[in-house]
Amino acid sequence: MNYTGERMVPWNRVTGKQVMQCHIARYAWAIQHVFDKHVVDLGCGTGYGSFMLSWAAKSVLGVDISKEAIEYAKARFDDDSLCFRASDISKVFLSADVYVAFEVLEHLDFPQRIVERFKPLVWSIPVNDANVFHRRAYSVDKVDTLMGVSE
């Protein structure tokens, strides 16, 4: 799978170590929230994060709209407690104990629907990051509003 800037492709030489380290760090941090739970990784991309979550979770379903990304994930990450599905997360019902959405909400037309539907949600959103693949850029205030955080 070629790196286009839309999805993280593990071990590619274009993005560099720092970007990959940040992506891995998010999933490493999330492991504490998924231990022994059924997990859906929303917008799983190429599957490396879903695989990491499977180390601690009871089961992980990685879901991404890209069939190419899901095929990449299926070919590289295999575990009895892990599976992948190509689907539009805004149009399917997925049942789990916890949902993970790292760097995906900014790609959606209606991210509020995902935030409201999938709970509890472990998430991250890039702040002040202009990217041609993002539907919107978020400031800290916009993230707070989306997530219902008030002072």
Instruction: Return the exposure string of 79-88: e unless at least 16 CB atoms fall within 10 Å of the residue's CB, then b.
Output: eeebbbbbbe
Region of 6 (left: φ > 0; alpha: ψ -120 to 50; beta: rest) is: alpha
Per-residue pLDDT at 62 exceeds 70: yes
pTM for the model stands at 0.83
Say whether 62 sits in a helix, a strand or coil: strand
Per-residue pLDDT at 151 exceeds 60: no
Tell me the pLDDT tens digit for each residue of 81-133: 999 999 999 888 889 999 999 988 887 889 989 899 999 999 978 776 767 66
CATH of domain 17-143: 3.40.50.150
Average pLDDT over residues 62-75: 95
